[in-house]
Structure formats: structure tokens, C-alpha cells
Structure 1
Amino acid sequence: MDKFKPVILSLAALTMLSGCVTREYAGDNTPVVQNDSSNDDIALTRISLALGYLKMGNTTQAKSNLEKAKRFAPKLVQVHTAFAHYYETVGENELAVGAYEQALSLDANDADTLNNYGVFLCRENRLEQAQKQFLKAIAVPSYLQVAQSYENLALCHLKADNFKQAEQFLEKAIKHNPSRAAVVLQMVRLQYAKRDYRQAQLYLQKFEKAVRRFSAEALALAYKLYKKQGKTSVANNYGVMLVKVFPTSWQAKQYLVNELAQIPADELALRYQKSRQGQASAKKRVVVLSPDKNQTVVKADNNKAVLAKTAEKKPKQQKQGKKRSSADSKPQTTITIPVHVVEYGDSLFSISKKYNIFMRSIQRWNNLKESSILRVGDVIYLSNPNKAAKS
């Protein structure tokens, strides 16, 4: 199911305009009808008709009305945005790109067009370009659908199995509109996929406060969530509600047949686990930190790292004429210091929480401040390097 939220479909509701018609009379009392509608108003009405035809599958009438709208207002942004939607519907994606670019050439800050263009690019798996359009829309001060664009951006990353980024953008969407039930339900799905059932339950409670009417998908997800936690009686209550309220739904039928053995959130969970396995397979790497006599390297993976520092003591100067024996040489000593290699989205707070270490300690060990900027690839000491060096 396509969960992206383009704004263009709202044009049908927003632009059902009727022109004001006035009557004047000539000297012989013959009425002369004059239409006070501007060309833009007429064009918007044609767009509304076109979208209606397109929804019914009548592409011929849809395009005919769009062409008429274009003749009345060739420089109206909505005309070209509607054309882009039409071209995407009929599978002419290159023409859709051209229509979006034409619309933005007329108004580079039209947030609705930017959002819709981002949705289109995401469907085309052009994540980087899609994110650029979404963020441009969000940056427009007068834009009211910021939560919707953040949700679209999160779904775009989720589609690409970028789970960390998806979670970050869902959090932003919820902050901008805490009562947007669809966003909160997406977060429930994501936390369920990550097997963080406690967090998923907290978001489910927020969803229940925000939603006016449950969907079959939400009831099925709630059932699985409580079932995973061993709360069978609560889970069964959701199952019974699912069958009573949505008896003909796919979810209700699956509940009766196999107690919802596999729902879309379970498929998302499998994708999450595969992404984690993929990260694990690419873990090992060596990063040279300083090319001095005491070579320091980091043997790191995506989650943990150990900094190994080899300190070699110089042998004492021997008297002339004596040969140096193997017993005279001192063995190398290896000091291991736990470290963390900074990833995208990391902060001092998240690192301290992950390793259960006071943030002030991490700051002190690494000479950092709360305002310090972490960059991907930075190495953060997780213990006091001075104490480790003396041991």
C-alpha cells in the first residue's frame, strides 16, 4: 500500500470555484452576460474537473481539461503540478519530471509542489533527490504540512531500509504534529520491527489517544504487539475487537485462521534484521589514527570498537663487546581502550545512553563540550585513556 501523502489531491477540494456571473442590459433590455472569473479561477476549475476524471480512470477527459486549464493560465503553478500528477498516473515519468521542474521554475518555493515532487522521486527510488525536495518544502515558512513532509521523508528512508534515519524523521513529524495518528502508527510499526516492544506500546497508547476510529491494520498490530510481550488477555481483546468491527477484513480472516501469524509489520521486522546482518558483515576495518612510533589503530565495527595501543620500551644501552641476547629484550605491552566510532545521527547523549556511561565522563575523557560537533568516523574514548596508559 502506498502510504505517501501527496498534496495535489487536495486541489479538488480547494479549487471548486464558480465564477461570479453578472447581468447587464443593453438599451433594448437585452441581457448581456459577463463572467467576472479570472483566468486563474477558470484554470483551477478545469484542474478540479481533470483530477476528478483522472480518479475515475478517464484519462482522455482528464488531459483535455488540463490542456484547457493551461490555455487559460499557462503560468499557474497548479497547472503544471496537475500535469505532473497526470503524467505519473499514465506512466510518463520523464514528462512528469519536466512538469514538476516547470512548476518550480515558476515558483521555487511552492511547498506543495516540492512535497509532491519529493513523493514522486521517492517512488522512483531517487532518495537523495527526494530528500532535497522534502527539506526545501519544510523550510518554507508559510508551509503548514511540515509533519506530513517529514512523514513522507521517513517513509522514503524506510523504503530504502534506512531505519535509523526513518526513526529520526518520524520523531520530527510527531513533534510538529503530536495528534497526527498516521505518523504515530508508523512509529509503532517501526518500534515493533526493532523488537522494542515497550517503546512500541508507549507509541500505541499515544496513537489510541489521537485516533478517532481504529483501523483493521492498527488492531492487528496491537494484537501482535501484546502477544509478543506475553500479555495474552490484552492481545485477545484486540483480536475480538478486530473481528467484531472489521469482520470482512483480511486481518480479521487471518486472525481466525492463524492468529495473525504474519502481518506487514513482521515483514518489516525481517527487513530490519537483514539490514542488521548486512551491517555486521561489513563491520571489520582498520583505521590508522597516528603514524608515530607507538602505532595506534582502531579495530572497529558499526557498534563497538577497541583501540589497541602498542607501547614498545627501548632496551637499555649495552656495554661494548657484549652481544645482545633474546632475554635482554623486553616484551611489548598492549593496552586496550574501549572506544566508539561515531555514526550518522550519533550524539554525546545517545553514546552515553548506549554504553550506560555518564555523559560528563565521556566529555572529560575526550576533551569535549556539550556544544562540540561530532563527525562520522570520529573515535570517542569510553574509558579514561590516561589511566589505561598507566596500567
Structure 2
Amino acid sequence: MDKFKPVIFTLTALSLLSGCVTQEYAGDNTPVVQNDSSNDDIALTRISLALGYLKMGNTTQAKSNLEKAKRFAPKLVQVHTAFAHYYETVGENKLAVEAYEQALSLESDDADTLNNYGVFLCRQNRLEQAEKQFLKAIAVPSYLQVAQSYENLALCHLKADNFNQAEQFLEKAIQHNPSRAAVMLQMVTLQYARGDYRQAQLYLKKFEKSVRRFSAEALALAYKLYKKQGKTSVANNYGVMLVKMFPTSWQAKQYLVNELAQIPADELALRYQKSEQGLASAKKRIVVLSPGKKQAVAKAENTRQTIAKAEEKPKQGQKRSNVASQPQTTITIPVHVVEYGDSLFSISKKYNIFMRSIQRWNNLKESSILRVGDVIYLSNPNKAAKS
């Protein structure tokens, strides 16, 4: 589950020729070319080449270009952060640490370096040190990727099964960038894992509003979320969309074979149940739901297996209660998945719906471009029954 997002080195595509000027010697009409590029510019170009080679797996050429960059600009922060990335890639973690420390010794408040260092430390399971670097990056006033660093910090805690802290930092990420769909989906997954399906559904709706195109992962998670709540009709709608939009995906194949019996979010749910926070939450629910059964609770506290068994009953009871409180007829939103050649006019004609209505329901204009895979609502989503 390595979904950390280090800030990518932002390098301008530099051309060495662009820094050249033409001069003439006094008394001589022969033009000469003088290189006016700074050493930092040359070093940045070498770094860009090195990262390209590293991405292709050519570590020899990558290091060669980094060494050349270092010769041109030994005190340039990006040189040392690039070296750190290189060392991590080739498994030289000790040298990576030294490179990050060298970069920070040159510029202690470089937020990108602090964020990337935090990502590296988290991958090494050094949570406390990673959190320190992330928070330093976030504290830099000019830093623009605050939401990204909060998300990285949340994922770092999630990796350590610190679910409460992960939720807090995901909320921070959402506050700083409410339209960041990736964070919304992470929050849906987290709430699903904790068994808080109502909260998961709220974040799913926010996620759907922030994206124009679904992913196979999101559709599979939505299917499982509604299935867990007993809302089979809504769940099946997502299942159909999954197979139609991503027929070759792992999720679609699993849906056809076993109705997505196990997805990554289910694995996270198992981790939550075994974690200290999950067990504490389970004990709390048992005490509240069965205050008179002290002996059963005492036994449940002794072994995890007993806790798990004791928790099954209130969960099942809660599920029945939730299902019973819902209307018997669930209203789902009909949708159309855009195919090659579709237009707003052809869709409105196919379903006998006014084109203006489709535009209004989907916040589209006549000039809007439809892409294959886009999901178009065929009724007003705001008037659909809350499910």
C-alpha cells in the first residue's frame, strides 16, 4: 500500500542553446558564441536528465549526470535531494539520509525537501521522524502543497495502523484542498475499514462530486459499501458501471467471479479489527450494548478471538436495524456511460430527455466535451432519495 506522493522535482525544461548570445570581437566580423547559462541552470539540466535515466532504470547514466550536476553546483539543494532519490532507488538508504541532511544543511526550510525526506523516512518505518519532517514542511508559509503533505502524513500513520491519527490528518488535507479527489477516496476507504458506513457514504458522495470520471477502484469500493448496508439495488448499479467502464480490470473480473468478496479496503478493515484502536472501539461498543453481561465482557477482554465473536452480534443487529429503517424501495440514479461517438444530443435523443435537463443535472454546457468513460446522470441527482 505504498501510495505516498513525494513532491516531484519541478524542473524547467532548459535548453543550453537558449542561454547563448552572439558577440563580435573588435575589428573582427567573425561571430563567436558565449555560453551565458549559469552553473545552476546547467546543474538543473543534468538533474533532469538523471531523473529521466533513473525512471528508465539506467542507474549508471543517472549517477553520471548527478555527479556532473554536483560539479557545476555543489551547493544547490536540488542536487542533493536528487542524489537522495537516487540512493533510495538503488537501496543505499544510509547514503540517502546523508544526502537529505546535506540538502537541509544548505536550506533548512526547503519544504519540498522536508516533504520528500518525510516520505523516505516513512518508507523506512521511522514514523516519528517522518512526522517531524512533514510538519516542518507544512509550517513553511510559502509552501503550496500542504494538502499533499497532510495526506502523506495520514498514509504514514495508516501504514502503522494508527487509524485515529490517519483520520485526523486526512481531514486536514481535505480542509486545505476540498477538491482533492484522491484524499476523499482515501477517507472513504478508511471509514469503510472502521465500519462507519454512513460516514463512508458521505465522503463517497463528495468524491463523486469532485471527479468527472470514476476509477475501477472507486466503483468497486462503492459497490462494497452499499452492499454492506444491504442496499443491493444501488450496489448492483455500481457493479454494472464497473463491468461496462472497466471490463478488463481486476475489479471487474472479481465482481463477475465472486462479487468482489475481498478488496484492499477489506484487508484494511481486518487490520483495523486487530489494531489496538479497533479493539478498544470493540470493547467500548460491547460495554454499551451489553451492560449487564460483565462476565462476557471480561472474557472478551482476555482474547481477541472472543472480542471478535462478541462484536459480531451487535454488528449484525445494527445492520438489521439500519436496513429496517430504510424505505423498502430504493431510488437509484440512472446513468449513461459515454461511449465513442456520443454527444449530448444523441444521449438526449436515446433516452428521450431534454438536452437542457441533462446539461443542468451534470453541470454541462453545449460546448462541453464528453470523453469516453464519463458518467452522465439521466435524472436530477439532488432529488434522488437519500440512500
Q: 2:123 matched to 1:123?
A: yes
Distance in 1 (CA, whole Å) between partners of 2:188 and 2:280 is: 25
Higher helix share: 2
Residue 208 (structure 2) pairs with residue 211 (structure 1): no
% same residue:
88
| TM-score, with structure 2 as normaliser | 0.71
- Equivalent residue number for residue 109 of structure 1: 109
How far apart are 1:192 and its partner, in Å? 0.3
Evaluate the alpha carbon distance shift between residue 22 and residue 192 of structure 1 in structure 2; reply closer, same or farther with a 3 A threshold: same
**Structure 1 residue 245: deviation in Å?**
1.4
User: Which runs of no fewer than 5 residues in structure 1 stay unpaired?
Assistant: 284-300, 306-391
In 1, the alpha carbon distance for the partners of 2:156 and 2:58 equals 30
Secondary structure class of the residue paired with 2:221: helix
Whichever residue aligns with residue 182 of structure 1, its letter is: A
* Corresponding residue for residue 191 of structure 1: 191
Partner of 2:243: 243
**Is residue 251–residue 260 contact of structure 1 (8 Å, CA) maintained in 2?**
yes
Residue equivalent to 2:137 = 137
Q: CA deviation at 1:130?
A: 0.2
1:16 aligns to what?
13
* Structure possessing the higher relative contact order (Cα contacts under 8 Å, 6 or more residues apart): 2
In 1, Cα distance between equivalents of 2:70 and 2:286: 55
Structure 2 equivalent of residue 71 of structure 1: 71
Alignment of 1:159-178 (within 5 A): 159-178=159-178
- CA change 1:302–1:194 in 2 (3 A) is closer
Q: CA deviation at 1:15?
A: 2.6
Distance 1:71 1:182 in 2: 39
Q: CA deviation at 1:248?
A: 1.3
Displacement after TM superposition at 1:17 (Å): 1.8
Q: 1:173 to 1:70 in 2, by over 3 A?
A: same
Q: Secondary structure at the match of 1:3?
A: coil
Alpha-carbon distance in structure 2 between the residues aligned to 1:277 and 1:126: 20
Offset of residue 10 of structure 1: 3.9
Determine if contact 2:164/2:277 at 8 Å carries over to the other structure: no
- 2 CA distance for matches of 1:130 and 1:304? 37
The answer (yes or no) to whether the contact 1:279–1:302 under 8 Å persists in 2 is: no
Return the alpha-carbon distance in structure 1 between the equivalents of residues 244 and 267 of structure 2: 26
Query: Partners in 1 of 2:228 and 2:9 — Cα distance?
Result: 39
1:32 equivalenced with 2:32 (yes/no): yes
1:304 CA drift (Å)? 7.9
CA 1:277/1:209 → structure 2, altered by over 3 Å: closer, same or farther? closer
Equivalent residue, structure 1, for 2:86: 86
Structure of higher CA gyration radius: 1
Tell whether the 8 Å contact from 2:226 to 2:235 is kept in structure 1 after alignment: yes
SS at match of 2:144: coil
Residue by residue over 1:205-245, the C-alpha shift from the partner in whole angstroms, topping out at 9 and shown as x without a partner, is 11011123211111110111111111111111111111111
CA contact (8 A) 2:6 2:115 kept: yes
Question: Which one has the bigger strand percentage?
Answer: 1
The separation in 2 between residues aligned to 1:5 and 1:97, in whole angstroms, is: 18
Q: Which amino acid aligns with 1:16?
A: A
Query: Which whole-Å CA distance do the structure 2 matches of 1:197 and 1:267 have between them?
Result: 16
Aligned-pair CA distance for 1:25: 2.4
- What are the superposed Cα offsets for residues 297-319 of structure 1, whole Å, 9 maximum, x if unpaired? xxxx89989xxxxxxxxxxxxxx
SS of residue paired to 1:23: strand
CA pair 259-73 structure 1, distance change in 2 beyond 3 A: same
Cα distance change of structure 1 residues 134 and 40 upon mapping to structure 2, 3 Å threshold: same
Match of 1:290? Answer: none
> Structure 1 residues 186 and 29 mapped into 2: Cα distance closer, same or farther (>3 Å)?
same
Query: What CA RMSD, in Å, does the superposition of the two structures yield over aligned residues?
Result: 2.1
1:222 corresponds to: 222
Look up the SS of the partner of 1:42 in the other structure.
helix
User: 1:27-55: per-residue Cα shift (whole Å, max 9, x none)?
Assistant: 33222111111111111111111100100
**How many residues are aligned here?**
285
In 2, Cα distance between equivalents of 1:35 and 1:211: 47
For residues 173-211 of structure 1, give each alpha carbon's deviation from its aligned partner in whole angstroms, at most 9, with x where no partner exists.
100000001111100000000111110000001101112
